Amino acid sequence: MMCLYCQTENSSEGVCSFCGAPIDEQRPERKNFVYLEQCEQPFSQLKYFHTYDLLVLLRLVRKERSDAFNQMRLIKKGAQEAQMDEETISFAEEHYLYYTKRAKVLEGILVDRMGYKPKTINDKLLLSMDQKIKEYEKKA
C-alpha cells in the first residue's frame, strides 16, 4: 500500500515503514457543500472534515449562535413587558448555549490543525483558501 504522506510503497499494513504514518487512515476530502446540521455530528466524525469545510461549518454555527443570542435577548426583554413563561426563556438560553458548545468543538479542531482559531471567517478568507487548494490539486 502507498503511504499518503511520503509516497513510499509499503508491504505491511498499519504503519508506513519510512515515516511511521498510519497507512489505513483516510485524509479529509472536501465536500460539495456543508450545512448547519452537520455540526451535530460527534467529534469522531467532525475530525475527518476537510479544514475548508470546518471553516464553512464554523461560520454557519457562529451565525446561528449570533441569531440565537439576539433571539434570547429579545425574549428576555419581552418577558419583562409581557408575561412570558420560563420554558420559553429557558429554550432560548439552551439554544444559544448549544451553538456556543458546537462552535467550541469546531474551533478546537481548527486550533489543532491550524494553530489558531480565526476571529472572523469571511468570503475573502474562504476564497483565498479555495484558490490555494485548487492550485495544490492542479500540481498534485
Separation in Å, CA 111 to CA 28, 54, 68, 105, 122: 16, 11, 25, 10, 18
Question: What was the pLDDT predicted at 81?
Answer: 65
**Measured in whole angstroms, how far is the alpha carbon of residue 42 from the centre of its chain?**
11
Question: What was the pLDDT predicted at 21?
Answer: 87
Question: What was the pLDDT predicted at 50?
Answer: 95
What is the rounded (10 degree) CA torsion for 87, 88, 93, 98? 90
Residue ranges covered by each domain of the chain: 1-27, 36-139
Q: What count of residues does the chain have?
A: 140
The rounded distance, in Å, linking the Cα atoms of 44 and 58 is: 16
Cell numbers for 55, please give them: 471553516
Kindly write down the DSSP assignment for every residue of 78-127, as one continuous string. HHHHTT--HHHHHHHHHHHHHHHHHHHHHHHHHHHHHSS--S---HHHHH
Tens of pLDDT along the chain (140 residues)? 888 888 888 887 788 888 888 888 778 888 889 999 999 999 999 999 999 999 999 999 999 999 999 988 888 777 666 666 677 778 888 999 999 999 999 999 999 999 999 999 999 999 999 999 999 888 86
Question: What was the pLDDT predicted at 99?
Answer: 96
Question: What was the pLDDT predicted at 36?
Answer: 95
